[in-house]
Chains A and B, each alone.
Chain A
């Protein structure tokens, strides 16, 4: 039996300690700002979208280890894919990419999914008004 030192998978710990794409995008054209009703945590997702493609993604998160790791993983998954592909990303996919989360922490990945949905909606609202940009 190996001695387990942390409550999460190694991947979660890695993304928690070295979060990818942490920060803000000044000229983001899609922002998803969501709170987690289950625990009061918060995630803010910034996307830069060009011609239906996500060219950059960043985040800021106030939350537990799982929340930070899922935020980080989500931005990794989003970078470089089309909007259509992005719409297909579920919280399960993010959790799986992290080698799983403890059951009580699934809602943290739901927050990531909701942040993505909110950002995509924001994008539609912004581009809907004055045609394509």
Chain B
């Protein structure tokens, strides 16, 4: 089916492990397999050294102190540790938290759970481009606000939030501020000191590191409680034997990102501009989503009137292009039943008409994508769109002068 071309445009979902990262990890599976808690023998000491080195590399990437980095198993765990861990350690800080309506499920579902436990949750609305208004954050803060958590960049629409402004407000009111940097860290410059945030979620597999490893930056002076009971690893804040090969991989991925970031960003911005311009010229019924400027480099998201998201994605996949869709129809193929078909909360939040199930397509490019690949996507898009328009009863209605999108 289709030709053998394979173009991966879904880097917000995951990235391939860089060969240099993979190389660095290999010795830690068999030769240097020691447990860092075995302080007394050579293998243990070496494992500890590896941990220290990686902690330094991650700290360097986000400009934190070394001992402000806690390794976890993934971004979801970091998000849980950041919120739950803080609330557990600071029960006197109040029973109110603030998040936005376009958070990742690891924040949204925690908020639901916290509500069950008696917390109050304010969920901030976003503007059309997906931006959170810092003023709205300030207005939402109450006497008993314990924490604020917002995503640094959104994976579906690419919007980068005004983190510094929000952090200033949080600081002014003495509220703990966690930013979910899962898809941002390693891809755009992030300096925790300059931003002034208290906690930051870091995910290795979103910047050419392995899956199964993440980190939480926690500003010195803040207290959190572990969410698993166990030993004393990670300053007592995250028990469990460390995933040493994963940590080494995260460290090297962080180092490579520190060094190569300007070059990667320049390349991705070029590809992004090329795709944006090309689509704008060729696809008549396109609507771009997210913020036009404040967005991740190489990240383009859009929806097309009269066309349903999954069918578009599926056709592109047949032609060898892998992208993502926020369409309710495609995101939950593995769901148990149609209850799982809720339209994307991010798309509804920014005003995409959910009633037509028009999924937004997310094309997220990576450092190894090429201009030739972007050109290929631009070449096949018009034909694919035309085919789906011909099938669409909504488009047929539009041609008869009954446009379902104009009220």
Contact = CB atoms under 8 A, between A and B. Distances in A.
B390 A22 contact: yes
A60 B396 contact: yes
Interface string B279-313: 00000000000000000000000000011101100
A38 B341 CA distance: 7
Q: Which of B1, B333, B356 has the most chain A CB atoms closer than 10 A to its own CB?
A: B333
Contacts of B307: 62
B337 interface: yes
B1 A40 contact: no
A113 to B, nearest CB: 15
B393 A39 contact: no
A88 to B, nearest CB: 25
A61 B341 CA distance: 18
B340 interface: yes
Given A6-B314, A6-B317, A41 B391 contact: no
Contacts of B343: 40
Nearest to A13: B1
Nearest to B329: A64
A105 B306 CA distance: 21
B318 interface: yes
A100 interface: no
A116 interface: no
B111 to A, nearest CB: 25
Interface in B309-340: 310-311, 314-315, 317-318, 327-330, 332-338, 340
A61 B332 contact: no
A107 B328 CA distance: 13
B354 interface: yes
Contact of B335 (A16, A17, A62, A104): A104
B148 to A, nearest CB: 34
B383 to A, nearest CB: 13
B394 interface: yes
A62 B393 contact: yes
A62 B308 contact: yes
Interface residues of B, number: 35
A68 B328 contact: no
Nearest to A5: B1
Interface string B338-362: 1011010000000000111100000
A40 B317 CA distance: 23
B337 A103 contact: yes
B338 A102 contact: no
Nearest to A105: B333
Given A17-B318, A62-B393, A62-B394, A41 B308 contact: yes
A39 B333 CA distance: 13
A7 interface: yes
A13 B340 CA distance: 23
A16 B313 CA distance: 12
A63 B311 contact: yes
A42 B1 contact: no
Nearest to A24: B396
Interface string A100-131: 00111111000000000000000000000000
Interface string A40-55: 1111100000000000
Interface string B79-112: 0000000000000000000000000000000000
A80 interface: no
A13 B317 CA distance: 11
B392 interface: yes
B393 A42 contact: yes
Contacts of A65: 310-311, 314
A24 B392 CA distance: 11
A7 B322 CA distance: 13
Interface in B117-149: none
A19 to B, nearest CB: 7
Contacts of A103: 335-337
Contacts of A24: 396
A62 B356 contact: yes
B394 A104 contact: no
Contact of B340 (A40, A42, A68, A104): A104
B334 A44 contact: no
B314 A41 contact: no
Given A39-B338, A62-B356, 12 more contacts: A5-B317, A6-B1, A6-B318, A17-B1, A39-B357, A40-B328, A43-B393, A44-B393, A44-B396, A64-B310, A67-B308, A104-B333
9 contacts: A6-B1, A6-B317, A22-B391, A24-B396, A40-B355, A42-B394, A44-B396, A64-B330, A65-B310
Interface of A: 5-7, 13, 16-17, 19, 22, 24, 33, 38-44, 60-65, 67-68, 102-107
